[in-house]
Amino acid sequence: MTQDELKALVGRAALQYVEAGSIVGVGTGSTVNHFIDALASMPRPVAAAVSSSTASTERLAARGIRVLEAGAVERLAVYIDGADEIDARGCMIKGGGAALTREKIVADLADRFVCIADASKRVEVLGRFPLPVEVIAMALPQVARRFAALGGQAVQRPGVLTDNGHPLLDVRGLSITDPLAMETEVNQWPGVVSVGIFARHRASLCLLGTAQGVQTIHY
Ligand code: 5RP
């Protein structure tokens, strides 16, 4: 199977965690796009979705799924999203699609984070994928220097602003052996809007698309 077929497989498999008539949290990315398409085909549909990006909002709306603002919802049973990397504890790197801040906001509303990913995303240690960090523009050089002091090389993602209007750094060369500690540290640096380490909001379970089928991993 191709990587895209594996993404489609787990996108469809995620439907088993979505209750008809409920409000579902929806992430961003090519794997989630498959999930949105599957969501639109449910015989008994969801009541609405809370979306983590303009791109997902547009796709949901185009498929007739009502989208609510995150601020209008107090709690979600489940948030479904992809990942750039996921480790053995369900900690993730996210933000390859520049939606990390809104993804964390919607994940924070949810009782359960269901990660959908093809097998290439499973890693032992986070950090081979460049770590995305959303930063207020005037702080970019200082945040980059702070990463350099940790052994990381931070480069601004060219031509990209987030849905919140901020630039992103992609940080290479990190080996994130303690994701929670690094997330906590980087979150405190002035000018950081959010860091793409999801340890505090790690996955509750992962549906991993493999050549043998969908593997369900509980954390
Ligand atoms: C977007 C994300 C995505 O979940 C992540 O980049 C994975 O994307 P894809 O499903 O396209 O491989 O964090 O900000």
pLDDT at residue 96, rounded to an integer: 98
Please name each of the domains of the chain with its CATH number: 3-124+200-218 (3.40.50.1360), 131-196 (3.30.70.260)
pLDDT tens digits for range 87-118: 999 999 999 999 999 999 999 999 999 999 99
- Measured in Å, residue 52 CA sits from the centre of ligand 1 at 11
For residue 64, give the 3-state DSSP assignment.
Answer: coil
Active site residue 5: no
As to burial, measured by CB atoms within 10 angstroms (0-12 exposed, 13-18 middle, 19+ buried), residue 100 is: buried
pLDDT tens digits for range 39-84: 999 999 999 999 999 999 999 999 999 999 999 999 999 999 999 9
Q: Which two tokens stand for residue 110?
A: 């949810």
pLDDT band for 169, please (50, 70, 90 cuts): very high
pLDDT band for 208, please (50, 70, 90 cuts): very high
pLDDT at residue 126, rounded to an integer: 98
For residue 57, give the 3-state DSSP assignment.
Answer: helix
Atom of ligand 1 nearest to the CA of 31: 10
pLDDT tens digits for range 172-206: 999 999 999 999 999 999 999 999 999 999 999 99
Q: Which two tokens stand for residue 203?
A: 């996955």
Query: Which of 26, 31, 86, 91 is the pocket-test mutation for ligand 1 (most atoms within 8 Å of CB)?
Result: 31
Identify the active-site residue in 58, 74, 103, 183: 103
For residue 116, give the 3-state DSSP assignment.
Answer: strand
Atom of ligand 1 nearest to the CA of 98: 14
Q: What is the mean pLDDT of residues 5-30?
A: 98
Q: What is 159-191 written as a DSSP string?
A: T---TTS--EEEEES--BS-HHHHHHHHHTSTT
pLDDT band for 156, please (50, 70, 90 cuts): very high
Residue 93 near residue 83 (C-beta atoms within 8 A)? yes
pLDDT at residue 84, rounded to an integer: 98
- Measured in Å, residue 9 CA sits from the centre of ligand 1 at 16
- Measured in Å, residue 27 CA sits from the centre of ligand 1 at 8
Atom of ligand 1 nearest to the CA of 96: 6
pLDDT at residue 170, rounded to an integer: 98
